Each structure stands twice: as structure tokens, then as C-alpha cells.
């Protein structure tokens, strides 16, 4: 038997056929085209499911026992409803019911995408074997998932784990959420790119500026890391600050939740393990309490890439 | 049958005889005199227990079925060990074993005091009937307890819930924990007094200054509230800022944990329900996500006073 795992993202919908070990047999994507009516989006999602199953020469009724959907936003997993999703602009949209118009005989569960990510990591990834863990995905935004006692912790209105939106700099940079100084406004890759651009403007003599030929649109979150490696002192400063901001929020999470481990995923994984280890060292230095090494929260890198949402979605079954 | 609940605090040890409904039959305190050897402190604690039971004309063996100890610090509740307690200066102190030298036949469980507080509130207090709740005690410091799925959530090394030590102001005021800008450095009553003193120094023409006759040692956390009520604009500013800082940390907790309710306890309760309601309004305004009223985390005032630790300690039994 297989399950279908769906990553229902802002830009793409990806469907994967996943076996009971969490291995992906086949996956396919279509663009979300998110400004459409949700009924159209879900229709395409269902057709993608049907198409993928056919392509794998499987039978939906006989070979697929479950569909899990990892969605961007706050998701009522009991009723398969997207309660609220800022970028989609959806409110109280009944995703599972809409899917059942096309695929009626298979149980469907929806869940927040970061929560699916956290579940996959805790079952077969970096946090495997631990009961209380957190994952933080860092990319253009910061998301998170909390696993307590081996289960997803959802919070009252299915919105827990919004680590990106805890303020670390009172009256700091504006955040998309309406507050100022959120962690996401300092530790997301968008924030890193912003800070690198500002530094480049201030120092046109810097390698940072030269590496983008003065065209700041070309600045990526990796540029300051590359320039720092080649000896640019301004970039080294950006990198050092970025690590500090990253550690700042992680220490806050440790002091509040003290999970067994925090695994970091998302685009930031591309910076590699050395980067994560540097941040982990900063976290260990400043964490509250004088804990022995084996009692400290481990700071890890997520094992699974973007597929974690697809894989984790199929694990909602258990 | 009764249980003994102990509040093992920095300044006092209080023992209460508590019935199965959480009612205190009798309680007595002695000074902790915390700079002594821990064996001496625990000996006095045990003798206080024996004395209180005698005074109530009860029999330790026949009438007392459990002893719960709420302690300041990180407590390994499995082994009755105080792992770490900054102000005590204790490390890995075996409290339960030491108590058993004097009272051998009764089960003893130790737990962090704020966790006991949270347990009492969730069983018979402000958060009664809710499964996932947080309490935050605000006084000279800020402590907290997390209840998830009706149970105390301890964290990896029994140190979860250190809400006071999450940074809200990057590179802000020094905190006793070694970091800068912790929430406790802005929202504790100590921080409030500090800010009121600074304001009074800047404005000797203010009512705030006059109310302490220029002797800043006399400034209490209530002085700016009293002065603001009598029309002092400088105090009104202190009060408004303090509410903002308080809301800042609470919103962070809501965005990360989204509990059903956060109940606020500690010395700050003396400011009354209007104060808590003002703060709750600020929290609702800025919380992430557009949730309907009934889906928002409630901000409440704790029902039970300092006795909550004693009462909650006896609830560790279940």
C-alpha cells in the first residue's frame, strides 16, 4: 500500500507517492497559480493526484490508502479546513471536502506544512527517536513545527510554532505580520539579503558590491558568505551578525521550550553544516542555566529536503 | 487523607496541609536562610512538616499520604533532585532523598515552583478545564509553567518555561542571566521600578519624584501607577511603556505556543484586573493571524495567590 503526500505551497503543488518507509516512488508538480478561486486550485490538485497514480501504474482505490496534504497556513486538521493563510488570502476554506468531490473513498487529512516537515524529521530524519522536538525552517520567511510527546502540537487555533513572529528587537525592522522586530525580520534569508544590500551600498569598495557588479538585485543570501570566504571584511560582519540573530531566536526557543533538539531546515540548509555548527556554538554559550553537555538542546540540520512536507503529510495517517 | 505541600522559596519555606479539593487546612513558614548547607535547610524543612502535622493534631503515617515540594530552580522530578538553582547556588542536590532521612514512609515528589503554580491554576484556578495553558508569574523576576495535555511540560533538562529569559530587545538592558534584553529586564517589577526611578531623576518636577520625596529607594512598582492615576504625565508614560513590554512577551508566547490561555500571577496581580485587561487588549491587537474571538488565546489573571505553589505541589501526586 502507498499513500499520497501533497505539498500545497504558494508557488507549486507537488504530489508524491510514498511508501510505508517514507520513500518517494514518484512525484510531480504543477504551478499553484494562487490567485485563482480555491475550487479551481483544488480541482487541479485532485487531477494531479489521479495523474500521478496512473503514471505509476497504480490503482487509486486498491493501492492508495491515505492522502495527506501539507498546506501553507493555519490548518484545522480535524475538519480539513484552511483557517487562515496570509499569502493565499483564504479564510475557512474546506480543502478536504473539496478534494473528496474528486477522490471520494480515501481518507484525507490536512495539516500545516511545517508541522508535516517536523513530523517527517522526527520519524525518519534528524530528530528521529526523540519525543519533544522543534523544527525551524528558514528561507524567505521563518516557519516552525513543534512535536511534543511524539505528536504534532497544534495550539488552540492550529497556529502554534510561528517562531518567525516572535519579536527579538523591540521597535525594530518592520515585519510582514504587522509587528516590528520579529525574528523573521532579522534571521530570514530575505533579511540577510536586505542587510547585505545595505552594507554594499555603504561600501561600494567592498567585494560584496563587486560580486554583484553593483546590481543589488543580484544579491543572494549566499553572496555575503562567498565574499566573506574570499576575505571581504564587510561581508564577514554581515555573516557574523546573521549568525548572532539566528542564535538569538534559537536561544529564546530553548529557554522557553527546552526541546531535546531543534532541527533547522529550509533554504538555509544550503549554507551547510559548518554554518549550523557555528550557530549551535553561539546558542550553547548563552542558553539559560548551567546544563551539562548531554542535557543541552541539540541544534541540528534537518536531514530531509523539501520532500519532508510530502513525506510528513503521509505520516499524518498514523 | 491529606497531603503536605511545600513552597521551597529563596526567603521562606512554607508547609501547608492540603485536602483533596486543594483547600489548605493549616500552613506555617520558616525563613530559608539560604546560605546554609542544604542538609541543614532540608532538616528544618522536615521538622517544619512534622511540627505542622502535630499542630493540626494529625498523624504523619496515618493522615498524610503524599509530600509535594515546589522548589525554586530546575528540578529533576523523577529523582527529586535540584539540578540547578541560580540564587541558591545549588547543583545536583538530592532533596527528596535528604527529606526521607526524616520522613521515610511517604512518597515525595519535587517540582519547579512555577510548574506547581501552573498545575494548581489548571486544576482549580483560572485555567481550570483547559488542556494546554501557560502561567507567567511576574514579580522581581519572571517565571513560568507550561501545561500541555493536562500535564506539566518540563523540557529536556526540566528547565522549560523560562519565559523571562527570552530576548525581546536585542542588545538591550543587562539581565541577571548573562544575556541582554531579556523580557524580565523589561517586564519584571524590578525593571518597572528601574524605569520609574530613571524617569523621576530626569523629571524632579514630576509627581513621581514627589511621591517618594526624592528618595528613590522608596520607589515601588505601584508608585508610577498611583502617580499616573493622579494625573502625572511622566508616570502615565512609564505605565504605558510597561504595558507594551508586558504585551510584547505575551504575544511572543501566543505566537509560539498558542495556548488556550495564559494566566498571569505573582506580585503583579496587585495591579488588578483592569491592568491585565489593558494588557490583554494590546496582545489581541498584535497577535499573528486573524483569529476569531473564541479562537484567541485568553489572557487571564491567576485565581490563586502565593498558596498556588503549595496547593499545586500536592497535585503532583496524581
- Packing angle between helix B113-124 and helix B307-314, nearest 10 degrees? 80
Span A105-137, pLDDT tens digits: 999 999 999 999 999 999 999 999 999 999 999
For residues B70 and B309, the answer to whether their CB atoms sit within 8 Å is: yes
- Where residue A305 falls among pLDDT bands split at 50, 70, 90? confident
What cell does A89 get? 488570502
Span A180-203, pLDDT tens digits: 999 999 999 999 999 999 999 999
Among the partner-chain residues A84, A186, A259, the one whose CB lies closest to the CB of B290 is: A84
For residues A95 and A125, the answer to whether their CB atoms sit within 8 Å is: no
What cell does A64 get? 492508495
pLDDT at A261: 98
Residues of B with Cβ-Cβ distance to A156 under 8 angstroms: 132, 258-260, 295-297
Span B179-222, pLDDT tens digits: 999 999 999 999 999 999 999 999 999 999 999 999 999 999 99
Cβ separation A297–B252 shorter than 8 A: no
> Strand, helix or coil at B162?
coil
Specify which residues B4 forms β-bridges with.
B17, B67
For residues A133 and A302, the answer to whether their CB atoms sit within 8 Å is: no
What cell does A65 get? 490508502
Span B40-62, pLDDT tens digits: 999 999 999 999 999 999 999 99
Q: How far apart are CA B186 and CA B173, in angstroms?
A: 8
Q: How many CA atoms, within 13 angstroms, populate the side-chain half-sphere of residue B209? A: 12
Cβ separation B159–A132 shorter than 8 A: no
Chain A residue nearest residue B153, CA to CA: A257
> Is residue B2 pLDDT above 70, yes or no?
yes
Closest CA to A170 of B183, B85, B239: B183
Looking at every residue in chain A, the average pLDDT score rounds to: 95
Closest CA to A318 of A61, A98, A114, A22: A22
Minimal C-alpha gap between A138 and chain B (Å):
15
- State the DSSP code for B153: -
Count Cβ atoms within 10 A of the Cβ of residue A139 and give its class: 0-12 exposed, 13-18 middle, 19 or more buried: middle
Q: How far apart are CA A12 and CA A26, in angstroms?
A: 16
Minimal C-alpha gap between B249 and chain A (Å):
8
Q: What radius of gyration do chain A's Cα atoms show? A: 21
What cell does A315 get? 505520516
Q: How far apart are CA B227 and CA B3, in angstroms?
A: 44
CA torsion B17→B19→B23→B25, rounded to 10°? Answer: -40
- Say how many CB pairs under 8 Å bridge A and B: 144
Q: How far apart are CA B146 and CA B137, in angstroms?
A: 12
> Is residue A290 pLDDT above 70, yes or no?
no
pLDDT at B290: 67
Q: How far apart are CA B202 and CA B233, in angstroms?
A: 13
pLDDT at A291: 75
Looking at every residue in chain B, the average pLDDT score rounds to: 95
Q: How many CB atoms lie within 10 A of CB A76?
A: 20
Residues of B with Cβ-Cβ distance to A252 under 8 angstroms: 166-167, 252
Among the partner-chain residues A74, A162, A286, the one whose CB lies closest to the CB of B179 is: A286
For residues A291 and B159, the answer to whether their CB atoms sit within 8 Å is: yes
Cβ separation A159–B291 shorter than 8 A: yes
Span A84-101, pLDDT tens digits: 887 788 889 999 999 999
Among the partner-chain residues A165, A166, A258, the one whose CB lies closest to the CB of B160 is: A258
Q: Any idea which residue has 497504480 for its cell?
A: A58
Q: How far apart are CA B41 and CA B58, in angstroms?
A: 24
CA torsion B93→B94→B100→B103, rounded to 10°? Answer: 40
Span B104-161, pLDDT tens digits: 999 999 999 999 999 999 999 999 999 999 999 999 999 999 999 999 999 999 999 9
The structure's pTM equals 0.93
What cell does B103 get? 520522613
Q: What is the 3-state secondary structure (H, E, C) of B39-63?
A: HHHHHHHHHHHHHHHHHCCCCHHHH
For residues A245 and A172, the answer to whether their CB atoms sit within 8 Å is: no
Read off the pLDDT of each residue in B262-277 and give the average, rounded to a whole number: 95
pLDDT at A270: 93
Q: How far apart are CA A249 and CA B168, in angstroms?
A: 10
Q: How far apart are CA A160 and CA A232, in angstroms?
A: 40
pLDDT at B163: 97
pLDDT at B89: 80
Find the angle CA(B158)-CA(B159)-CA(B161) to the nearest 5 degrees. 120
> Is residue A39 pLDDT above 90, yes or no?
yes
Sheet strands side by side (includes B298-301): B151-152, B142-148, B133-138, B261-265, B298-301
Q: How far apart are CA A313 and CA A6, in angstroms?
A: 7
Minimal C-alpha gap between A59 and chain B (Å):
40
Q: Any idea which residue has 543587562 for its cell?
A: B174
Q: How far apart are CA B137 and CA A206, in angstroms?
A: 49
Q: How far apart are CA B58 and CA B43, in angstroms?
A: 20
Q: How many CA atoms, within 13 angstroms, populate the side-chain half-sphere of residue B152? A: 31
Span A155-179, pLDDT tens digits: 999 999 999 999 999 999 999 888 9
Amino acid at each position: 500500500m502507498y499513500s499520497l503526500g501533497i505539498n500545497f505551497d504558494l508557488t507549486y503543488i507537488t504530489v508524491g507517492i510514498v511508501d510505508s518507509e517514507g520513500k518517494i516512488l514518484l512525484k510531480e508538480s504543477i504551478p499553484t497559480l494562487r490567485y485563482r478561486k480555491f475550487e479551481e486550485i483544488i480541482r487541479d490538485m485532485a487531477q494531479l493526484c489521479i495523474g500521478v497514480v496512473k503514471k505509476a501504474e497504480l490503482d487509486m482505490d486498491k493501492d492508495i490508502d491515505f492522502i495527506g496534504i501539507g498546506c501553507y497556513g493555519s490548518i484545522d486538521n480535524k475538519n480539513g479546513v484552511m483557517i487562515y493563510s496570509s499569502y493565499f488570502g483564504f479564510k475557512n476554506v474546506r480543502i478536504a471536502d473539496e478534494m473528496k468531490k474528486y477522490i471520494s473513498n480515501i481518507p484525507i487529512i490536512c495539516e500545516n506544512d511545517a508541522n508535516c516537515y517536523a513530523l517527517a524529521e522526527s520519524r525518519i530524519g534528524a530528530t528521529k527517536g526523540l519525543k519533544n522536538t522543534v523544527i525551524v525552517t528558514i528561507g524567505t520567511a521563518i516557519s516552525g513545527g513543534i512535536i511534543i510527546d511524539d505528536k504534532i502540537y497544534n495550539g488552540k487555533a492550529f497556529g502554534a510554532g510561528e517562531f518567525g513572529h516572535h519579536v527579538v528587537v523591540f521597535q525594530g525592522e518592520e515585519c510582514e505580520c504587522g509587528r516590528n522586530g520579529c525574528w523573521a525580520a532579522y534571521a530570514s534569508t530575505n533579511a540577510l539579503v536586505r542587510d547585505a544590500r545595505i552594507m554594499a551600498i555603504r561600501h561600494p569598495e567592498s567585494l560584496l558590491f563587486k560580486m554583484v557588479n553593483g546590481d543589488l538585485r543580484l544579491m543572494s543570501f549566499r553572496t555575503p558568505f562567498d565574499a566573506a570566504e574570499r576575505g571581504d571584511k564587510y561581508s564577514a560582519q554581515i555573516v557574523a551578525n546573521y549568525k548572532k540573530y539566528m542564535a538569538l531566536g534559537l536561544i529564546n526557543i530553548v529557554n522557553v521550550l527546552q526541546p531535546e533538539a531543534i532541527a533547522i531546515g529550509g533554504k538555509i540548509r544550503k549554507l551547510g553544516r559548518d554554518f549550523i555548527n557555528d550557530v549551535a556554538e553561539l546558542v550553547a554559550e548563552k542558553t539559560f542555566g548551567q546544563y551539562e553537555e548531554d542535557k543541552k538542546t541539540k541544534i541540528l540540520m534537518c536531514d530531509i529536503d523539501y520532500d519532508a512536507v510530502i513525506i510528513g503529510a503521509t505520516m499524518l495517517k498514523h
